Amino acid sequence: MAGADRNGAVTAASGSDSGPRAGFGMPTAADHRREAEEAEAAAVVLDDDAVVDLAELRRASGADEVLTALDRELVGLADVKSRISELAALLLIDRARERFGITAPQPNLHMSFTGSPGTGKTTVALRMADLLHRLGYLRKGHLVTASRDDLVGQYVGHTAPKTKEVIKRAMGGLLFIDEAYYLYKADNERDYGGESIEILLQVMENNRDDLVVVLAGYADRMDTFFRANPGMSSRIAHHITFADYAVDELGSIATLMADDLGYTFSDQAFDTFHSYLERRIEQPWFANARSVRNALERARLRHARRLLDGPDPTVGRDALTTFEAVDFSGSRVFAGGAAAVAESGS
Amino acid sequence: MRITQGTFSYLPELSDEEILAQIGYCLDNGWPLSVEFTDDPHPRNTYWEMWGLPMFDLKDPAGVMLEVTACREAYPDHYIKVNAYDASLGRQTTALSFIVQRPAHEPGFRLDRQEVGDRQIRYSTHAYAAGQPTGDRYGRG
């Protein structure tokens, strides 16, 4: 009660100079009048022959800022971007329809992201929560990441409370289940994962406007997962496939990543890196953007060592922030074909 | 007799939207919430049965409402309340507690007077419904 008294005292003090005393933050008559007027203004339904300015709505929603930021910061991923811009368009149209008094329930937004390693599934999911919040589909826009450990219990009766707790935490935001196929183990029929999937299905159906579920994983294993759980597949409206990146896209990703780390490429360095990627992409265990990140990390090491071992002990800002061709040509990837690289002039 | 315990108990019954708004207020203050139920609403019965564990790290009131709805379905004729706990140093106590469901028929309490020595009188309250075994109290019909 101490808090309430304190609040009350504060309200009374601030209310004393503006007419009647407002107790405990209760709305005054003036507040009620204003609210009623606002509600009336919002409730006006347009006539059947009226028109709505979509460009005006679009400006007001701020969706374009979200989309251009996404376009700038993520390379490639045309499929993902077109799906997001469609969602943004739907939101605008729904708002316009509301003006005429036509309402529709929230669209089904559950998604599955499938693709090879390093194609940006997790990165996009992290941004999707914020995006859907800014587009007005999620109330809070936080992201809860869950794996099998968080959802599936260890003994009978342990799974349901665990899964429900995660779901409750994700309410108002996005529930991201990475490597979702681990939930279901086909070879063990007494596995508790099935129970977790059942609860998820129920929530995905009943609490559609409270949370969005995103399942992510490698393409082939997700296909097996969906084949074993057809109910899951049909409750997901957006099956988004993340394509492998082309070498040029990987190059622009590298530029963005290096920029984040505070490095730039010299022209020869970028050419060398490009030929590095062309070789690396052919090799086994190529993990798209993740491999690019690792290559950059190794280049940082070589760059640091080159500066320390160099003849000139003084370095300037440019030297500290610029990758040279030798930082990449030292890679093992070139070991097989060093002569070829030398010929190409690096 | 309508039982008045906790916050808002002298107001008309809160609608689900109003309950959601109150839960939202608690979450905005960073108070974890819990759901409790009982069929023994004696004023001195502070400890009601817990419906699951207290809910931590929630962001949105819909999660708490999910549990309230589940509890209502399981115990349609019980009292159900929502508690919010303020863990901040210096307070560390229940910050808000309000009833979100009550039975359709509340018979109320009987006041017992006991004459003891020196013409003193001791008072105690006894819920009429408490004559029934737990689970059968406040049942329909």
- Residue A254's H or E segment, with its range, is helix A247-261
Under an 8 A CB cutoff, do A169 and B57 touch? yes
pLDDT in tens, A251-268: 999 999 999 999 999 999
Cβ contact A280:A333 at 8 Å: yes
The three-class DSSP label of residue A7 is helix
A6 touches chain B (CB under 8 A): no
Q: What percent of chain A has pLDDT over 70?
A: 88
CB contact under 8 A, B63 and A169: yes
The pair of three-digit structure tokens given for residue A249, joined into one six-digit string: 């896209």
Which residues of B are less than 8 Å from A133 in CB distance? none
Non-local CB neighbours of A324 within 8 Å, separated by 6+ positions:
A266, A268, A269, A303, A306
By Cβ distance, the residue of A142, A164, A207 closest to B59 is A142
Residue A160 touches partner B, C-beta closer than 8 Å:
no
Residue B55 has pLDDT above 60, yes or no: yes
Question: Nearest-CA residue of chain A relative to B96?
Answer: A1
User: Strands, DSSP E only, in B56-104?
Assistant: 79-86, 93-101
CA atoms within 13 A on the CB side of A299: 30
Domain extent, residue B69, equals 16-101
Residue B10 falls inside a structural domain? no
- Cα nearest neighbour of B56 on chain A: A169
- What are the tens digits of pLDDT across the range A100-118? 888 877 788 899 999 888 8
Residue B90 pLDDT: 93
Domain contains B81: yes
- Of A51-55, A256-260, A268-272, B66-70, which range is least confident? A51-55
pLDDT value of residue A61: 74
User: For A129-136, what is the mean pLDDT?
Assistant: 83
Cβ-defined contact of A169 to B95 (cutoff 8 Å): no
> Which pLDDT band, with edges at 50, 70 and 90, does A150 fall under?
very high
Q: Is B5 inside a domain boundary?
A: no
Has residue B44 been placed in a domain?
yes
Which chain B residues are within 8 Å of A162, Cβ to Cβ?
Answer: none
In a domain? residue B113: no
Strand partners, B112: B124
The answer to the question of residue B34 being in a domain is yes
β-sheet bridge partners, residue A58: none
Question: How far does the CA of residue B115 sit from the closest CA of chain A (Å)?
Answer: 36
Mean pLDDT of A214-232: 90
Q: Is residue B91 part of a domain?
A: yes
CATH number, residue B49: 3.30.190.10
How confident is the model over B73-105, as pLDDT tens digits? 999 999 999 999 999 999 999 999 999 999 988
Structure tokens at B55: 């809910």
Residue B121 lies in a domain: no
Distance (Å) from the alpha carbon of B116 to chain A's nearest alpha carbon: 36
Sequence-distant (6+) residues with CB within 8 A of B45 are: B38
What CA–CA distance (Å, rounded) separates B50 from A115?
44
Q: How far apart are CA A151 and CA A144, in angstroms?
A: 12
Contact flag A171-B60 (C-beta cutoff 8 Å)? yes
* SS3 label, residue B33: strand
Q: How many domains does chain B have?
A: 1
Measure Cα distances from A111 to A6, A217, A308, B52, B63 in Å: 47, 12, 49, 30, 21
Q: Do the Cβ atoms of A207 and B62 come within 8 Å?
A: yes
Which has the higher per-residue pLDDT, A318 or A54? A318
- Picking from B75, B71, B10, the residue whose alpha carbon sits closest to that of residue B35 is B71
Using the beta-carbon criterion (under 8 Å), do B66 and A172 form an inter-chain contact?
no
Instruction: Return the structure tokens found at A260.
Output: 């984040």
A25 touches chain B (CB under 8 A): no
